[in-house]
Structure 1
Amino acid sequence: MGCQAWFYKWRRRPAEPAKREVGRTPSAKRIRCFFDRSGHTYGSQRITLDLWEEGWQVSQNTVAEMQAELGLQGRKPPRRRRSLTRPGKR
């Protein structure tokens, strides 16, 4: 029964974007700037920290989502090689 209220609220929603959606647009430019400045290596964690230093209030999940939309993927950490020898065994 609670779903009907959300449906009608959605129907009455204005055509223009909400404040939150408008506020996200400049951060996409900043995300690309930080990504390019890092040499295409920064992931969402590091870019989020850089945005926080500039005063943006944005979550790491939002940055990760926007990076995916922009097609920006940070460098993955190198895989750890597994040793074949077992410590303590002969």
Structure 2
Amino acid sequence: MNHYQFVEDHQRRHGVKRLCDILGLARSSFYYWRRTAAARAARQAVEAGLAARIRKVHQDSNGTYGVPRITAELRDGDGPAINHKRVARIMRTIGLEGVRLRRRHRTTVADQAAAKAPDLIGRDFTAAVVNTKYVGDITYLPVSGAKPLYLATVIDLASRRLAGWAIADHMRTELVTDALAAAERTRGSLAGAITHTDHGSQDGFNRSSQRWLVGAIVAAW
């Protein structure tokens, strides 16, 4: 309980002076607290109203909105003006927070010096026959308390199934060739197939994969 409120509640029985002496309070501070009680109650009522509005916006966003988005929503609606610092304080008080998106980890690093491989599929990401057109990519996998991992995949555009994959703690050419080797083991041969990816360098994967895939046509990784 607030010490001033305790004095207020027990002053008739024990007296303000005695209670303030016991609690180590200045009587002037107690009397100031009592004079400002009405203004303080009014501020608390406004805070409670803002907390209710913030909670509704947060709930309507399925718990995803944080301070910036909630502040923007409140400014667009009816009610008193509010700044982001006040929203942040109230959200901390009532235990709300938004969803924090992880920073995007870049896995495609283009080699500006390398010649761009042609787009052999012409942006047509469909195939009528399996083992003719593939797409590949590298995905960043965060691991709590450990070094991050990278997943390389090779997907058949006809069946939409994962033909091969590989995981490593690096993005060197071996990661990609391991995924292609896994796809070759699954399909028996990738000869004549087109593998389309983005233009990442991956330590010269474009050139390495062309050498490794005998008879295969690689668009670009």
TM-score (norm 1): 0.72
Query: What residue number does 2:44 align with?
Result: 21
How has the CA–CA distance of structure 1 residues 86 and 44 changed in structure 2, closer, same or farther, with 3 Å as cutoff? same
How has the CA–CA distance of structure 1 residues 76 and 88 changed in structure 2, closer, same or farther, with 3 Å as cutoff? same
Inter-partner Cα distance in structure 2 for 1:63 and 1:79: 24
Alignment equivalent of 2:98, drawn from 55, 62, 74: 74
More helix by share: 1
Query: What residue number does 2:213 align with?
Result: none
User: Is residue 34 of structure 1 aligned with residue 57 of structure 2?
Assistant: yes
Query: What residue number does 2:70 align with?
Result: 47
Query: Percent of pairs identical after alignment?
Result: 29
- Mark the structure with the bigger radius of gyration: 2
How has the CA–CA distance of structure 1 residues 48 and 83 changed in structure 2, closer, same or farther, with 3 Å as cutoff? same
Question: Structure 1: where are the runs of 5+ without partners?
Answer: 1-6
How has the CA–CA distance of structure 1 residues 10 and 57 changed in structure 2, closer, same or farther, with 3 Å as cutoff? farther
Inter-partner Cα distance in structure 1 for 2:33 and 2:51: 24
- Comparing 8-17 with 48-57, greater Cα deviation is found at 8-17
Q: Return the letter of the residue paired with 1:77.
A: L
Inter-partner Cα distance in structure 2 for 1:20 and 1:33: 20
Q: Return the letter of the residue paired with 1:13.
A: W
Aligned pair count?
84
TM-score (norm 2): 0.33
1:31-74 C-alpha deviation (Å, 9 max, x unpaired): 00000000100001111111111232111011011111111110
